[in-house]
Structure 1
Amino acid sequence: MTDRLITHLRHVDLAVPDFDAQLAFYTDTWGLRTEHTDSGLAFLAAEGSPEQYAVRLRRAADKRIDLLAFGVATRADVDVIAERLGADGVRLITEPGPLHTPGGGYGFRFFDNEGRTVEVSADVAVRKHRTIEEGESIPVRLSHVVINSADPEATRAFYEKHLGFALSDTLLHPHLGKMMWFMRVNAWHHSVAIARGPHPSLHHASFEMRGIDEYLRGTGRVLRAGVEKIWGPGRHTAGNNTFSYFLDPSGNTMEYTTELELIDEDTWHPHLYDFTQPEIADQWGIANQMNEFVAQRSFNDPDKGLYLAPPV
């Protein structure tokens, strides 16, 4: 295994032009909680997570991923990663130092190979959280983020080389080749996945529910609220997790999931799955068919924030 200092995914930060509608969606419908607010900013936490927030919304003229944030164990690890990135010619946005976001901490930001802003941090204060009770259909935590890449092989190589990600599984199309790579930084099957797409953008963000019952209750609640469902409910083969995909008001795809696979990293061997086989996309066989419509929605709009660091 590569020398890995990243321990987990912290949060995904989104810039949105329809801030008020997005805030209402994520709190009133999706089940996140507003923990902190600032001028044009909202920090939204998952009730079951010790992370200060799972999603940050920022009011902006353009829709974009503001940043992906990952945790490490110590300040020394932050410094080591920053030093290694700098030595390899990766463009740093900030040098390691105090963070001025909820929970504080110590970290820095840099651009990945396609210009997304990435943050690495340590010593962020633990949020007071609670156990999600039986029947509560709200997210426990941010499970994973999937990004679209115009050069997914290079993006995979970047995250493996610089952040110590490991490949768990790959999805293959018999005529189009390899299409999605599931990447991990701990025993969860994936914290990030990289999808082949026409441009860099957010493919989807996924939120872990307490269990199957809570996942289905949540899916039903969002459906009753009139939110457009893209795909699901079903259960993937890669990761063995359930899925229900919806569109937020900005057209970003959001997923409810549960039972993401925990693997033995010492014995795991990546699979190559042909996702045109029905049981690969959905073991249960009850989800709507994966087709061009579903795929096109997942491509999302081109990210307008590449090599442009967010103002906060």
Structure 2
Amino acid sequence: MNTTSPFSLTHLRHVDLAVPDYRKQLEFYTGHWGLSVVATDGDVTYLAAEGSPEQYVVRIRKDSDKRLDLVSYGAADAATVDSVAHRLAADGVALVADPDVLQTPGGGYGFRFFDNDGRTIEISSDVAVRRHRKIEEGESIPVKLSHVVLNTPNPEETVAFYNKHFGFKLSDTLMHPRMGHMMWFLRTNAQHHSMAIARGPHVALHHASFELRGIDEYMRGTGKMLRAGVEKIWGPGRHMAGNNTFSYFLDPNGNTMEYTTELETLDEDTWHPHLLDFSAPEVSDQWGTANAMNEFVAKQSFNDPDKGLFVAPPV
């Protein structure tokens, strides 16, 4: 087992979505968002980011129900995978199956389980590295998957779950004077967050975020989406928590997707979490360039209730 890191998990691998309008979803992610098809069987398609060594960063599956199929995280080695699976099972967490060879692109060794909210989470190691390339100056396509934000009506419990079982560390918290604590930013490496937990009316995907090469590429990508008529929800701007840029758009099945860049890298020895007041305009957007955070933005971020809780995806 890896003993050089304080974290059980190394990084975010991919986010998998099931959607009713499969064709439009694929057209969006390949024709507009800038991802590349690496494998498909007609009803399931795996999409890679050109700058990422991950085999794929998004998986799209055709289904009558819209759901978050799973979120996948990497582990250092097979021993860590086995150790985590053993600890989860011993603590009463429901495993979908015991660790085994994975049958998805890149193979590897891993397992899936249900978190406290019923989402399917995958932990894997030894996945083959994909041949990738350096994203060039001016290319407005994702370098990699940056982070995922998850909605839950029980955020304190969910934050405690990921801290207890995987050692996720709190980087910052957003609060509102009337609504209390609203979002917890969690890290599993030096990046400010690879996961955030948001208070919402139901369990659902809040958004997935994709890192672009730099500010210029981020702005070019934002403009490309606007020119293509993709519905913008919020941005462009720069958050205070994480110090990253943001432009949020709606995919054809109503999931929020973000272009970002320059997410903060933290020093483990000196960083202390902040409690940030979300009602202060500079907390949500340091630049002051984004549209106001209002009921429309919040509603899109809540998403539809996830129809796949405590039911593992078929693939």
> Match for 1:24: what amino acid?
E
* Alignment of 1:57 onto 2:60: yes
Alignment deviations for residues 247-283 of structure 1 (CA, whole Å, 9 cap, x no partner):
0000100000000000001211000000110000000
What is the CA-CA distance between 1:38 and the residue it aligns to?
1.4
Q: What does residue 195 of structure 1 align with? A: 198
What is the CA-CA distance between 1:164 and the residue it aligns to?
1.3
SS across alignment from 2:209: strand
Q: What does residue 256 of structure 1 align with? A: 259
Cα distance in structure 2, aligned partners of 1:259 and 1:4: 22
Cα distance in structure 2, aligned partners of 1:173 and 1:74: 40
SS across alignment from 2:272: coil
TM-score for the superposition, normalised by structure 2: 0.98
Do the aligned partners of 2:236 and 2:289 also contact (CA within 8 Å) in 1? yes
Of 77, 85, 91 in structure 2, the residue corresponding to residue 74 of structure 1 is 77
Do the aligned partners of 2:7 and 2:189 also contact (CA within 8 Å) in 1? no
> Match for 1:266: what amino acid?
D
Of 21, 43, 59 in structure 2, the residue corresponding to residue 18 of structure 1 is 21
Q: What does residue 295 of structure 1 align with? A: 298
RMSD over aligned Cα atoms: 1.0
What is the CA-CA distance between 1:292 and the residue it aligns to?
1.1
> Match for 1:36: what amino acid?
A
What is the CA-CA distance between 1:93 and the residue it aligns to?
0.4
5+ residue gaps, structure 1:
none
What is the CA-CA distance between 1:24 and the residue it aligns to?
0.4
SS across alignment from 1:6: coil
Q: What does residue 123 of structure 1 align with? A: 126
What is the CA-CA distance between 1:8 and the residue it aligns to?
0.3
After the TM superposition, which parts of structure 1 deviate over 3 Å for at least 4 consecutive aligned residues?
A: none
> Match for 2:221: what amino acid?
G
> Match for 2:188: what amino acid?
V
Q: What does residue 87 of structure 1 align with? A: 90
Aligned length: 312
Q: What does residue 207 of structure 2 align with? A: 204
Q: What does residue 112 of structure 1 align with? A: 115
SS across alignment from 1:86: helix
Do the aligned partners of 2:174 and 2:181 also contact (CA within 8 Å) in 1? yes
SS across alignment from 1:161: helix
Q: What does residue 230 of structure 1 align with? A: 233
What is the CA-CA distance between 1:39 and the residue it aligns to?
3.3
Cα distance in structure 1, aligned partners of 2:311 and 2:96: 9
How do 1:136-175 and structure 2 match up within 5 A?
Answer: 136-175=139-178
Cα distance in structure 2, aligned partners of 1:217 and 1:5: 36
| Further displaced range: 36-45 or 60-69 | 36-45
